[in-house]
Each structure stands twice: as C-alpha cells, then as structure tokens.
C-alpha cells in the first residue's frame, strides 16, 4: 500500500489548523504538525511535504501577516482555501464548575468568551497559554483545570464538553490556505489571489485598480504590506472571485501588469467551507 503524501500544518495537534487540514484531506491523510508558519513553508518548499496548511485570516483578528509575508517570498502557490467556523467550548473532566480552579486558553479565545466567563465563572482564575490545544492537553491531565478549546481537542484529549459555543454571540471564521506547487482545478466557488507592487507616485493605486473596476470584478480583499526593501514602500495583496483563466480576470491582470512594478499571481483555487452547526 502506497504511503499517502505528507501534509504539514501549523501545530500542535487538535488546533483549528489541524481541523482545517482534516476537512481538506481527511483523517486518513498523513498529517504532520510543525511549530511555526515558517516551518510549514519550509517543509513544502523542501519537498518533505506535498502540501501545507496555514491560517491566512481570522474574521475578528484580521490577516495573519506572517503567512502573507511568506507568500511574497515563496515560489509556492495557493491550491485551496478552507473556511472554518471557530466555536469555543469549555472542556473539563471536573464534575461541576465549582470544582474548576483554573480555566486555560489562548488569549484570543479568552477575549471571545469573556462575557460567558463573567456570567458563569467569575470566581475562576483565567490563565493564558500558547494555544487552545495546549490548554486542552493540560486540562486532560488535571481534573481541577478546564480549557477553552475545540470539539476536536475534546475528542483528541478525552475531555468532556461542559458548555458549548461560549462565543455564540460572535460570528468567528478563520480562513486557511492549502499551499503547494500545483495549479488546482476550478471549483464551484473559486477565487484568485495576487500580490503587486507600485511606484510611490500620486494616483498609482487608482490607476492600477481601474482595470479591475472596469471589468466589474468582485474584489473581496485589498491590503498593503511593507515591501521590506525600502522605507514607506508597499506591496498590495488582492483577492477576487473567479479563475485567472476567465477572460475578464485574465485581461484585468494583464492590464495590471502594465501599471505595476511586478505582479505575482499566487493562485486560482477552489474554496472549501465548513457550515456552522446550529445548536
């Protein structure tokens, strides 16, 4: 039996990135956690992994700049976007909230659940750790601890879900990119991402975006990042609906090349979305 291609993802196990990797590749895939986003890129660029899975944007916290910076430097392409609803649960093996002495989690999860914590666990000490997965791992070893973490972490570490969806008032979704070296097939919903640089001239961005507007392309994201080559020079990251081979998009990119110092198409790729469960 042939070994399945290796997929590196931002670890540790039972993180939301792990869940995104499972959603795209299945639980039978050879999934390998690594310690940083840089390490994911390095594994795929070095051909030790066929694919990598990294976060690109959270609906609350915004763009993951490390991922964007590596995409600027890397020859890798975006092969898929995975959209994952982020639901935070209280995990513990304690019998009641009164038995819990400390609640552990990543700072972002703590912030998203603060209202529930004030109403239901105001006397419990909150402790911030490096990841929601680490919080669950620590809680699994001590019944007086609880974790704000995911359903996957509860299953992975053998914890009970004491309370569900503590952040239910917040619509929180994280987008992940699957990075690799191949150009994927068109999906039912496809997007195109690219990076481009402009001269520091008055009206340069307006002129560069004119071909996109003229063709009525649905631009879903535009963001600037320091070029790291000179002070106050920027590169722009853009996403829009559609495939690069579509006539309107192909023509828009061609005209953008005439205006920009450089254009790097990161990929045209399908979007895979997990629906939020209602409870």
Q: Which residue in 169, 131, 170 sits closest to 150, CA to CA?
A: 131
Rg for the chain, CA atoms, rounded:
21
The arithmetic mean of pLDDT across residues 159-188, rounded, is: 88
Q: Please say if 17 is a catalytic residue.
A: no
Distance CA(101)–CA(123), nearest Å, equals 9
The arithmetic mean of pLDDT across residues 163-178, rounded, is: 87
Is domain 190-273 given the CATH code 3.30.70.260 in the classification? yes
Q: Which residue in 176, 177, 196, 236 is the catalytic one?
A: 176
* Residues contacting 214, CB < 8 A, separation 6+: 252
User: What's CA 230's distance to the chain center, in Å?
Assistant: 28
**77, 52 Cβ separation under 8 angstroms:** no
Give domain limits for the chain.
6-86+172-180, 89-163, 190-273
Least confident range of 46-60, 73-87, 116-130, 179-193 = 179-193
pLDDT range class, residue 112, cuts 50, 70, 90: confident
Q: In the prediction, which pLDDT does 193 show?
A: 96
Q: In the prediction, which pLDDT does 277 show?
A: 55
Least confident range of 67-71, 156-160, 164-168, 274-278 = 274-278
Is domain 89-163 given the CATH code 3.40.190.10 in the classification? yes
pLDDT greater than 90 at residue 39: yes
Q: Please say if 30 is a catalytic residue.
A: no
**Common-topology check for domains 89-163 and 190-273:** no
Q: In the prediction, which pLDDT does 59 show?
A: 87
172, 175, 215 from 133: Cα distances, Å: 18, 18, 45
pLDDT greater than 90 at residue 14: yes
Q: What percent of the chain has pLDDT over 70?
A: 95
pLDDT range class, residue 61, cuts 50, 70, 90: confident
Alpha carbon distance, N-terminus to C-terminus of the chain: 41
One DSSP character per residue, 9-40 reads EESSTTSHHHHHHHHHH-TTSEEEEES-HHHH
The arithmetic mean of pLDDT across residues 17-34, rounded, is: 95
Per the prediction, the chain carries an average pLDDT of 91
Q: Which residue in 15, 174, 196, 236 is the catalytic one?
A: 174
Is domain 6-86+172-180 given the CATH code 3.40.50.410 in the classification? no
Q: In the prediction, which pLDDT does 279 show?
A: 47
Q: In the prediction, which pLDDT does 264 show?
A: 94
Q: For residue 232, report the phi and psi dihedrals to the nearest 5 degrees.
A: 65, 20
Residue with tokens 């699994």: 140
Least confident range of 16-20, 173-177, 180-184, 229-233 = 229-233
pTM (two decimals): 0.88
pLDDT greater than 50 at residue 160: yes
Q: What percent of the chain has pLDDT over 90?
A: 70
């Amino acid at each position: 039996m042939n070994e399945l291609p290796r997929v590196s993802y931002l670890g540790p196990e039972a993180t939301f990135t792990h869940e995104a990797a499972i959603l795209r590749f299945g639980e039978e895939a050879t999934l390998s956690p690594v310690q940083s986003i840089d390490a994911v890129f390095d594994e795929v660029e070095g051909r030790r992994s066929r694919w990598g899975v990294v976060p690109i944007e959270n609906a609350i916290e915004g763009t993951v700049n490390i991922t964007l910076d590596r995409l600027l430097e890397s020859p890798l392409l975006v092969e898929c976007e995975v959209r994952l609803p982020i639901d935070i649960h209280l995990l513990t093996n304690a019998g009641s909230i009164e038995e819990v002495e400390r609640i552990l989690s990543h700072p972002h999860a703590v912030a998203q659940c603060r209202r529930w914590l004030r109403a239901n666990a105001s006397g419990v000490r909150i402790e911030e750790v490096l990841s929601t997965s680490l919080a669950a791992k620590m809680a699994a070893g001590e019944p007086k601890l609880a974790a704000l973490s995911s359903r996957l972490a509860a299953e992975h570490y053998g914890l009970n879900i004491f309370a569900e969806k503590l952040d239910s008032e917040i619509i929180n979704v994280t987008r992940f990119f699957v990075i690799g070296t191949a150009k994927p097939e068109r999906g039912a919903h496809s997007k195109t991402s690219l990076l481009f640089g402009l001269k520091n001239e008055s009206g340069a961005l307006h002129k560069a975006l004119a071909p996109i507007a003229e063709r009525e392309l649905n631009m879903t994201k535009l963001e600037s990042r320091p070029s790291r080559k000179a002070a106050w020079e920027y590169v722009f990251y853009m996403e829009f609906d559609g495939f690069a081979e579509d006539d309107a998009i192909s023509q828009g990119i061609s005209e953008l090349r005439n205006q920009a110092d450089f254009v790097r198409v990161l990929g045209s790729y399908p979007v895979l979305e997990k629906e939020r469960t209602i409870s």
